[in-house]
């Protein structure tokens, strides 16, 4: 009984184990044959300059032998930055071509990887190795020949005024040109309204740029002189961050019924969107009015207000000049005092008379009426 029973026990125990391992083995074979766990990077990454002063074209080819079967998608993750930047900018795309903005005075760095996901990867995202490329416009001229102190202000959202100074290495007879481009223009455009100093272009006024608002505006200031090459300056501007409004208008200070000072003004003229403005007076605010309490009234004799683009519309901007209104509450109070003093004096003297009369009347029944009357 015991001998017969003993052998089947290990056999019974082995059976489920071997079944399990069989299932596991099959699973491994199945997953390795049906599900991709690796994918190759894209090929042939190219960066080219279409001559738009900052935008570069990035192109690549799909990885070799890529299966784009049903329910399985191939995407690409492209990261790019200028050499020296800490952060990479990221774009996910199914396309094989991108156009992105760089600062052309620095090296452009780009990397792309393949992303595979779907039925073919058991819905797990599979990433390839990165493919890298860099680009740099041919360096021309010495660094010291680049224009200096270049800056721009977008006045009233109406016109852009950019100014610069000659580079340290500015050969005799040099002249400068400003070129610009933004998405929507077919090609670069040269400034048609230069600001000159002794016949040399030292600035430029650009009008009609509303199509360039909230976009990258690429600018290049280069120089030409007979034989010397000058280093071009590249800049990418965002107009809404360079806006400077005119000062607020119609600043009026008035006294309310509760004897508080009410300060009210209007947004500046020009094309600045009124909802994009904030003001600074006593504090920063988006409203176009405030009140100075009665208690604080005497401490204020002038009110000034200035405006700038608020952070609902831009990351930064320039303050307008101040609008100022001075008034003379104190003098009004002095006048009121002058009026009050005679009244108070009059009142008090008549009060004195009345009290004295009262005292005289009180005293008169007690005797010596003639004396007290003289005293009154």
Closest by Cα among 245, 242, 244, 239 to 267: 245
Residue 52 sits at the vertex; the CA angle it makes with 46 and 58, to the nearest 5 degrees, is 20
Q: Identify the DSSP state of 370.
A: H
Scan for tokens 């089947």, then name that residue: 8
Nearer to ligand NAG, 190 or 350 (CB): 190
Choices 165-173, 193-201, 216-224, 338-346 (CB under 6 A): range interacting with ligand NAG: 216-224
Site for ligand NAG in 276-305 (CB under 6 A): 292-293, 295-296
The residues, any chain, with a CB within 8 Å of residue 247's CB and separated by 6 or more, are 268, 305, 306, 307, 320, 321, 322, 323
Rounded to a whole number of angstroms, the minimum distance from the CB of residue 295 to ligand NAG is: 6
Nearer to ligand NAG, 292 or 305 (CB): 292
Nearer to ligand NAG, 179 or 265 (CB): 179
Q: Binding string, 164-183, against ligand NAG, x = CB under 6 A?
A: -------------x-x----
How many angstroms separate the CA atoms of 53 and 233, rounded? Answer: 10
Among 73, 188, 241, 310, interactor with ligand NAG by CB under 6 A: 188
Rounded to a whole number of angstroms, the minimum distance from the CB of residue 225 to ligand NAG is: 8
Q: What are the DSSP calls for 225-266, one per residue?
A: -SS-BBPPEEEEE-GGGSEEPPPPEEEEEEE-TTS-EEEEEE
DSSP, collapsed to helix, strand or coil, labels residue 214 as coil
Token code pair at residue 292: 């100075």
Rounded to a whole number of angstroms, the minimum distance from the CB of residue 46 to ligand NAG is: 21
Rounded to a whole number of angstroms, the minimum distance from the CB of residue 178 to ligand NAG is: 9
222 is an interface residue for ligand NAG by CB under 6 A: yes
How many angstroms separate the CA atoms of 196 and 204, rounded? Answer: 9
Nearer to ligand NAG, 39 or 108 (CB): 108
Inter-CA distances, 204 with 151, 213, 280, 307, 370, Å: 11, 18, 30, 25, 98
Nearer to ligand NAG, 74 or 160 (CB): 160
Residues that bind ligand NAG (rule: CB under 6 A) add up to a total of: 12
How many angstroms separate the CA atoms of 153 and 244, rounded? Answer: 7
Nearer to ligand NAG, 134 or 296 (CB): 296
Nearer to ligand NAG, 76 or 102 (CB): 102
Among 43, 46, 48, 211, interactor with ligand NAG by CB under 6 A: 211
320 is an interface residue for ligand NAG by CB under 6 A: no
Report CA Rg, the chain: 41
Among 148, 165, 224, 301, interactor with ligand NAG by CB under 6 A: 224
Nearer to ligand NAG, 158 or 325 (CB): 158
How many angstroms separate the CA atoms of 188 and 139, rounded? Answer: 20
| Residue 312 and residue 276 in contact, taking contact as beta carbons nearer than 8 Å | yes
Rounded to a whole number of angstroms, the minimum distance from the CB of residue 114 to ligand NAG is: 35
145 is an interface residue for ligand NAG by CB under 6 A: no
Inter-CA distances, 251 with 42, 296, 310, Å: 63, 19, 20
Among 45, 160, 170, 220, interactor with ligand NAG by CB under 6 A: 220
Site for ligand NAG, rule CB under 6 A: 177, 179, 188, 208, 211, 220, 222, 224, 292-293, 295-296
């Amino acid at each position: 009984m015991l001998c017969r029973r003993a052998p089947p026990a290990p056999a019974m125990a082995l059976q489920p184990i071997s079944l399990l391992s069989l299932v596991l083995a099959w699973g491994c074979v199945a997953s390795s044959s049906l599900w991709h766990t690796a994918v190759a990077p894209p090929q042939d990454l190219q960066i080219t300059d279409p001559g738009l002063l900052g935008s570069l074209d990035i192109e690549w080819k799909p990885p070799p032998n890529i299966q784009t079967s049903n329910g399985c998608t191939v995407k690409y993750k492209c990261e790019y930055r200028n050499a020296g930047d800490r952060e990479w900018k990221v774009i996910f795309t199914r396309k094989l071509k991108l156009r992105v903005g760089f600062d052309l005075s620095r090296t452009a760095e780009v990397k792309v990887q393949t992303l595979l996901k779907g039925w073919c990867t058991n819905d797990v995202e599979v990433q390839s190795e990165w493919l890298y490329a860099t680009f740099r416009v041919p360096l021309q001229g010495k660094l010291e020949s680049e224009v200096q102190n270049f800056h721009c202000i977008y006045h009233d959202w109406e016109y852009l005024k950019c100014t610069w100074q000659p580079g340290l290495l500015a050969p005799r007879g040099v002249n400068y040109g400003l070129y610009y481009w933004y998405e929507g223009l077919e090609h670069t455009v040269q400034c048609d309204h230069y600001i000159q100093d002794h016949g040399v272009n030292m600035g430029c006024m650009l009008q009609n740029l509303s199509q360039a608002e909230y976009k990258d505006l690429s600018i290049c200031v280069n120089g030409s002189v007979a034989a010397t090459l000058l280093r071009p300056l590249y800049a990418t501007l965002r107009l809404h961050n360079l806006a400077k409004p005119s000062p607020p208008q119609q600043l009026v200070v008035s006294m309310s019924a509760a004897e508080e000072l009410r300060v009210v003004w209007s947004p500046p003229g020009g094309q600045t969107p009124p909802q994009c403005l904030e003001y600074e007076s006593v504090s920063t605010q988006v409203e176009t009015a405030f009140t100075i309490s009665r208690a604080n009234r005497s401490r204020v004799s002038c009110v000034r207000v200035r405006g700038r683009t608020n952070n609902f519309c831009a990351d930064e901007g320039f303050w307008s000049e101040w609008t100022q209104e001075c008034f003379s509450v104190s003098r009004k109070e002095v006048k009121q005092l002058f009026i009050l003093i005679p009244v108070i004096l009059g009142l008090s003297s008549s009060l004195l008379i009345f009290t004295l009369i009262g005292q005289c009347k009180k005293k008169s029944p007690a005797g010596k009426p003639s004396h007290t009357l003289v005293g009154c």
